[in-house]
Structure 1
Amino acid sequence: MSRTTATNATRWGDRDQRRIDILLAGEELLRDGGYAALRMRDVADGAGISLGTVYTYFATKEDLFIGIFAENVVRLTGKLRRQIETASDFAEVFIATATQYREQYQVFGRQFDALGLVQESGGLQPAVEQRLRAATADLVATLGRGLIDQGYEGDVGLAMTLLWSTVTGLANHYTTARQEFLTVPWEDAVAFAAESLGRSLDVN
């Protein structure tokens, strides 16, 4: 497994950039080998810092995982916001959302329910948990605004519950062993879901 080691370009004392170096090194390990590959010593090597320095930012492996997850949610929301702003109809919004989420689910979804992890005994570092909650809230709000922009006039909370359950369900089915039993290609399944949901929400 090849990894890109962070250079010494990050200046000593630049805490924000050090945090980014750690998150990027951890994400590369996750993408290459899944949660089992997210070892703190390897993260330190990838970020070009000591193991002790990693622990000053993230107290546990779970904290680091959630930190990486939260940053990906932020990036996902940014991409979706741009796509939603230019979408011509609800189907385009839904398909963009489901497709982007599926890509993230391949790395994160099969390992942990991130919000469920927050509820476990002991919890997470407050700053890490706060970052996750803020990122998730922004994603949900962005999608809710997109739904309203497409003409939905009902209860946004109820609609988002239905839409999010569908998006996560599709991602789960098409990134796990379940896909072996599916005869419908991803593109057809997500288009059908978009059409059906749009009709039920009266936004087609």
Structure 2
Amino acid sequence: MGEASGGSIYGDAEARRRRTLDAAAALLDEGGYSALTIRSVAQRSGTSTGLIYQYFADKQDIFMALLDENIVESTRAVAALPRDRGVAALIAAIIDESARRWGRLGRMSQIWRDAERPADAERESLRAVHDSGNRYDEAVLEAVTDAAAKEGRVLRDEAAVLPFLLSGMQGVAASIVNNWASYLDSDEFAQFSAAALTRAITRTDPAP
């Protein structure tokens, strides 16, 4: 009986937390960060402000939890991409995935950069976001390294390779989503960019 009750309580707690995050995500989509307040989240989720404070310290903790979820989902998506079609095809697929998620994750990342303060560095939620971001970077690096090996290539041994690749992919994804190159076919643009990035970050494997 005790175990059943515990499971029910846990499930209810998780459901309330989920409703809180879903409500916060809707508010962000509709009105941006300024629309995200504990009161507005409580109203949207149909709960009390006191209950929300049981799970989150403030609205920034809610925001960080949403950002972390989106980064984790992006990491899983990258890890699931096939590696046997070559580096350019992999990069094009990551660009496509990034563009698909950019509507929320891109805006959230920009809000985070604008709102982040040195005093927040010790927040557990902020550390979680940083850790998830690092895991995303590692997933991209592993995927690209594997794809390169399958076509007899290696990544250039330079520290700038990963930051260059990440910024390049994010820039192309942002351009597609914001229609900054409306005169170009988005698929062709992504493929051209992926091929250019591949040439920049890889070389033929010198090993026999």
**Could you list the per-position Cα deviations for residues 146-170 of structure 1 after superposition, in whole angstroms to 9, with x for gaps in the alignment?**
1110222423742111111112212
What is the aligned partner in structure 1 of residue 106 from structure 2?
109
Whole-angstrom distance in 2 between the partners of 1:124 and 1:63: 12
Instruction: Report the Cα offset of residue 172 of structure 1.
Output: 2.7
Name the CA shift for 1:140/1:162 in 2 (closer, same or farther; >3 Å): same
Instruction: Report the Cα offset of residue 37 of structure 1.
Output: 3.9
Residue 162, structure 1, aligned to residue 164, structure 2: yes
What is the aligned partner in structure 1 of residue 196 from structure 2?
196
The aligned amino acid for 1:163 is L
> Where does structure 2 lack aligned partners over 5 or more consecutive residues?
1-6, 149-153
SS in structure 2 opposite 1:166? helix
**Could you list the per-position Cα deviations for residues 160-204 of structure 1 after superposition, in whole angstroms to 9, with x for gaps in the alignment?**
11111112212332333xx35642122121110111111223369
What is the aligned partner in structure 2 of residue 4 from structure 1?
none
SS in structure 1 opposite 2:107? coil
The aligned amino acid for 2:174 is N
What is the aligned partner in structure 2 of residue 123 from structure 1?
120
SS in structure 1 opposite 2:119? coil
What is the aligned partner in structure 1 of residue 86 from structure 2?
89
Instruction: Report the Cα offset of residue 139 of structure 1.
Output: 0.5
Q: Is the Cα contact below 8 Å between 1:34 and 1:107 reproduced in 2?
A: no
What is the aligned partner in structure 1 of residue 4 from structure 2?
none
Instruction: Report the Cα offset of residue 119 of structure 1.
Output: 4.3
- Greater radius of gyration (CA): 2
TM-score, structure 1 length as denominator?
A: 0.78
Name the CA shift for 1:141/1:190 in 2 (closer, same or farther; >3 Å): same
> Where does structure 1 lack aligned partners over 5 or more consecutive residues?
1-9
Whole-angstrom distance in 1 between the partners of 2:83 and 2:31: 35
SS in structure 2 opposite 1:56? coil
Whole-angstrom distance in 1 between the partners of 2:63 and 2:55: 12
Whole-angstrom distance in 2 between the partners of 1:59 and 1:124: 15
Name the CA shift for 1:46/1:19 in 2 (closer, same or farther; >3 Å): same
SS in structure 1 opposite 2:106? coil
Aligned pairs for 1:40-79 (under 5 A) are 40-79=38-77
Provide the alpha-carbon RMSD of the alignment: 2.8
Name the CA shift for 1:142/1:157 in 2 (closer, same or farther; >3 Å): farther
Aligned residues: 192
Name the CA shift for 1:157/1:60 in 2 (closer, same or farther; >3 Å): farther
What is the aligned partner in structure 2 of residue 5 from structure 1?
none
Q: Is the Cα contact below 8 Å between 1:144 and 1:156 reproduced in 2?
A: no
